[in-house]
Amino acid sequence: MKKFASKESLLRWFIKQAGDFSVAFEYPMKLSEKQTVLFLLPEDTESVNAYLPFLQKLYRIQKHGVLLLVNSKLENLLQTNQIKQEVLYYSTLGCRYGEQEFQKIEEVLKARQITATFDLQDQTLFQMLYLCKTCGATYRFGFDCESLYPLLNLSLVSEGEVSKRIEALTAIFEGAVK
């Protein structure tokens, strides 16, 4: 087991594991029906509740695959609110780098044609950002995340407000599927 002296050294280690190469891309992005978009949802109920209207709207405008990566403790919340996207659940302990559950999630994501990832998490979980990079997504969006390159390669300004994040996400997604 390796110990890290700081978050920066942990970030550098994940970047080394994922590789620092990023392919060139055109923006704004365009999505086809064969491509999948991955959303990393926050791990707390309050934050996910704030995104529920967006997730419900997202289902109505989607023309292709949307996959949500969600902590299993939020399963009842998503089912109660009838979130209809495909969901891949993980446990807190199992989704650590090197764990069997983590490796299975990484394999599932690599097998999909994931074009874009959107990190909606408030807490930076480097192992999740590692998954964004290694799944092969060309567009890896985050909010106020310049320091997380190359794990994320597009930083959106949110001013810390979920409503601003939802506006930005809606505009990006609606423009990508036209």
DSSP assignments along 5-18, one per residue:
SSHHHHHHHHHHHH
CB-based contact 45:21 (threshold 8 Å): no
CA distance 153 to 145: 8
Burial class (CB in 10 A: 0-12, 13-18, 19+), 136: middle
Identify the pLDDT of residue 44: 92
What is the distance between the alpha carbons of residues 66 and 169, in angstroms, rounded to a whole number?
13
How far apart (Å, rounded) are the C-alpha atoms in residues 77 and 95? 20
pLDDT in the model for residue 4: 62
Using 50 as the pLDDT threshold, list the residues of the chain that sit under it: 1
Distance of CA 68 to the CA centre of its chain: 8
Rounded to whole angstroms, how far apart are CA atoms 83 and 121?
18
Q: What is the pLDDT of residue 1?
A: 47
**Which burial class, exposed, middle or buried, applies to 46 when counting CB atoms under 10 A from its CB (0-12, 13-18, 19+)?**
exposed
pTM to 2 decimals? 0.87
Residue 114, H or E segment: strand 114-119
Instruction: Read off the DSSP letter of residue 157.
Output: -
Which residue, 78, 51, 29, is CA-closest to 163? 51
Query: Do the beta carbons of residue 29 and residue 139 sit within 8 Å?
Result: yes
Contact at 8 Å (CB) between 116 and 135?
A: no
